[in-house]
Amino acid sequence: MTTSTRQLIEGFRRFRARHFDENEVQFRALVEQGQSPKVLVVACCDSRVDPALVLDCAPGDLFVVRNVANLVPPVESHGKYHGTSAALEFGVRTLGVQHIIVLGHARCGGIRALMNRDAEHENSFIDGWMELAETARSEVLRELADASDSERERACERRAILGSLRNLKTFPWIRERVEAGELTLHGWYFDIEHGELLRYDETANRFESL
Ligand SMILES: [Zn+2]
């Protein structure tokens, strides 16, 4: 299925009919009172894994941060352009979300690029960004030395979620809220091959079907 800009405009008309006519009161309240989502989702840019669609949410429900391979960088004091960190800061400190979900997914192109890195694309923005998942990559290569490429990619997609959960706790205003019980961190994995949603269970140290 391909979407042309004409289809998008038709889509907007349906959205407008739904939210500005039928539920006008609901949407107007959101506009006038501002957003107060309880959940922040870190998701991939992948066009197949839109969190609001996959989790069947309405406007105002989710504060969404999307980047290549749904990665969270560690806190850094240098540099200026930290898009993901800025969005986390706004969601946590200004909006006061109560949950952060790192939503990984199967068949992730970013993870595939990481696992099949070649010299041809060296120094690309993607390679630089994907260094955030380097620990996940080396762990998987070591532990699944005899596995197929696709098995390793699936493993790395999940392992990278755990790295992002660790990095979330390097932000002092996240760590403090987690320790105070005001904020809960979740690692979820959307298996687009089998239409399943899995959750990381910290005690069992594995992903389990929801
Ligand atoms: Zn992806």
- Ligand 1 centroid to Cα of residue 117, in Å, is 16
| pTM for the predicted model, two decimal places | 0.94
- Ligand 1 centroid to Cα of residue 107, in Å, is 7
Alpha helices, DSSP H, located in the chain:
5-16, 24-33, 51-54, 83-89, 109-115, 125-130, 134-143, 149-168, 172-179
- Ligand 1 centroid to Cα of residue 113, in Å, is 10
Per-residue pLDDT of the chain (210 residues; tens, 9 = 90+): 667 999 999 999 998 888 887 667 888 888 889 999 999 999 999 999 999 999 999 999 999 999 999 999 999 988 789 999 999 999 999 999 999 999 999 999 999 999 998 666 667 899 999 999 999 999 999 999 999 999 999 999 999 999 999 999 999 999 999 999 999 999 999 999 999 999 999 999 999 999
* Gap between the Cα atoms of 172 and 91, Å rounded: 14
